[in-house]
């Protein structure tokens, strides 16, 4: 038997590329050691730069528009993309989406989720994780695509934050509330027991693509649901945006926020841009919520409890509007809103056909709602109240007596206008 040839290790100067482990270290990444009475200790400090893009992209699924194809193609070896899509969205846009992806040579797998508030729980997150594992989603270069309303993007975002400890994803919101709120921030989350978004993570998508064309198939109620969150931004920081809602709110609903050359069509793009800009201005300096005084919490102090108690009768934006109505009365009683401003606020809510009260809003429920918010905000109310229209202040001393007086005033106003009671929704929208 011939002897094996002697082993010759490859030359370090040959064609093989090697990197010394020490060379991978970045400057300044050594932990700081310091002495203690008990021996030694180390402090680890690290910074992670976070940046993501929010882009308005009309006609996103037009084969001539390369934006989506560029987003899912990373330039790495081709992989199968996982697309998590809402059931209703799939029925409306599934064929158009698959034709677009096939035309751009994107291999994909669809995971269809019936996403609505009642299934916004960890079991649905695990359903998405199962799909991610079955497809074999890589850790960095093949972002998961989430296409649907805010509930779906919240679920997929949480699944992506958990899978391999952080997997990138892209959001394509198809509801107005997703385009201006749920789909553009860093938070993901699901409900736990009776608590709204009690489980979650800060994990923004690398990209959000907004196509207002999806709103043409959104029912009027869900359009108004999103306009409630736009009204929030208007009341706390943008008087011009409020004026646009006051002048064109009903038309925006009728024309489904579609861009056009008439007054309403022109207002639609301005409203969309100002709403997104205003939200991002508030989010960016406090993306991880290190500071618990947040203007965007206006309408979100009582509403989580209202929404979960009334579920499924109230959509998220509707519960927010009830909260904003109550908070506006608190502000009026404190002299922060004049009677004329107070009337303007309620006129816009009425023009948008948004609810300002619900039968679950009892003094006892409001007491518990505020107590839960105080826990959530580390022992402080940090309650944003409008000061005029387009400005706000934080208060920490709202009493139960004030809340009950505001409820009474709200009830009296509601009886005077004889608003019909909200009926249980059937269509959950897209």
Q: Kindly list the catalytic residues.
A: 187
Please state, in angstroms and rounded to a whole number, the distance separating the CA atoms of residues 80 and 254. Answer: 40
- Contact by Cβ (8 Å): 414, 357: yes
Q: Which token pair is 406?
A: 């505001």
Please state, in angstroms and rounded to a whole number, the distance separating the CA atoms of residues 107 and 109. Answer: 7
- Contact by Cβ (8 Å): 170, 72: yes
Please state, in angstroms and rounded to a whole number, the distance separating the CA atoms of residues 252 and 318. Answer: 17
260 phi/psi in degrees, rounded to 5: -165, 180
Cα 264 to Cα 217, 277, 334: the distances in Å are: 18, 20, 35
* Radius of gyration for the alpha carbons in the chain, expressed in angstroms and rounded: 25
Lookup result for tokens 């158009």: 96
Q: Is 333 exposed, middle or buried (0-12, 13-18, 19+ CB in 10 A)?
A: middle
- Contact by Cβ (8 Å): 391, 347: no
CA max distance for the chain: 105
Q: Which token pair is 42?
A: 């180390």
Please state, in angstroms and rounded to a whole number, the distance separating the CA atoms of residues 239 and 45. Answer: 42
Please state, in angstroms and rounded to a whole number, the distance separating the CA atoms of residues 172 and 92. Answer: 14
């Amino acid at each position: 038997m011939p002897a094996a040839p002697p082993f010759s290790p490859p030359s370090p100067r040959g064609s093989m590329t090697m990197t010394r482990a020490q060379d991978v270290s970045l400057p300044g990444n050594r932990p700081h050691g310091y002495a203690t009475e008990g021996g030694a200790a180390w402090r680890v400090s690290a910074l992670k730069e976070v940046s993501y893009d929010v882009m308005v992209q009309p006609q996103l699924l037009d084969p001539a528009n390369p934006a989506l194809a560029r987003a899912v193609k990373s330039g790495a070896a081709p992989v199968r993309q996982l697309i998590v899509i809402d059931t209703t969205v799939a029925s409306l846009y599934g064929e158009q989406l698959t034709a677009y992806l096939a035309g751009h040579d994107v291999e994909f797998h669809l995971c269809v989720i019936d996403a609505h508030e009642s299934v916004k729980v960890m079991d649905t997150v695990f359903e998405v994780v199962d799909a991610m594992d079955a497809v074999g989603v890589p850790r960095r270069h093949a972002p998961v695509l989430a296409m649907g309303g805010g509930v779906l993007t919240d679920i997929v975002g949480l699944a992506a934050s958990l899978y391999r400890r952080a997997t990138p994803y892209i959001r394509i919101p198809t509801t107005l509330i997703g385009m201006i709120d749920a789909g553009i921030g860093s938070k993901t989350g699901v409900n736990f027991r009776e608590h709204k978004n009690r489980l979650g993570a800060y994990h923004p998508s690398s990209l959000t693509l907004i196509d207002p064309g999806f709103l043409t198939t959104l029912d009027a109620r869900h359009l108004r649901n999103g306009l409630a969150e736009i009204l929030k931004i208007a009341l706390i920081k943008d008087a011009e945006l409020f004026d646009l809602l006051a002048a064109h709110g009903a038309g925006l609903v009728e024309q489904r926020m579609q861009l056009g050359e008439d007054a309403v069509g022109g207002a639609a793009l301005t409203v969309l841009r100002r709403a997104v800009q205003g939200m991002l201005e508030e989010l960016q300096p406090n993306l991880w919520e290190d500071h618990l005084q947040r203007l965007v919490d206006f309408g979100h102090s009582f509403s989580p409890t209202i929404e979960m108690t009334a579920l499924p009768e109230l959509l998220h934006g509707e519960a927010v509007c009830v909260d904003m109505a109550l908070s506006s009365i608190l502000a009026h009683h404190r002299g922060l809103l004049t009677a004329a401003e107070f009337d303007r606020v309620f006129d816009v809510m009425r023009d948008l056909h948004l609810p300002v009260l619900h039968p679950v809003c009892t003094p006892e429920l409001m007491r518990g709602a505020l107590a839960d918010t105080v826990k959530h905000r580390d022992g402080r109310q940090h309650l944003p109240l409008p000061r005029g229209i387009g400005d706000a202040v934080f208060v920490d001393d709202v009493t139960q007596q004030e809340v009950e007086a505001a409820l009474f005033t709200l009830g009296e106003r509601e009886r005077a206008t004889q608003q019909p009671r909200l009926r249980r929704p059937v269509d959950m929208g897209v």
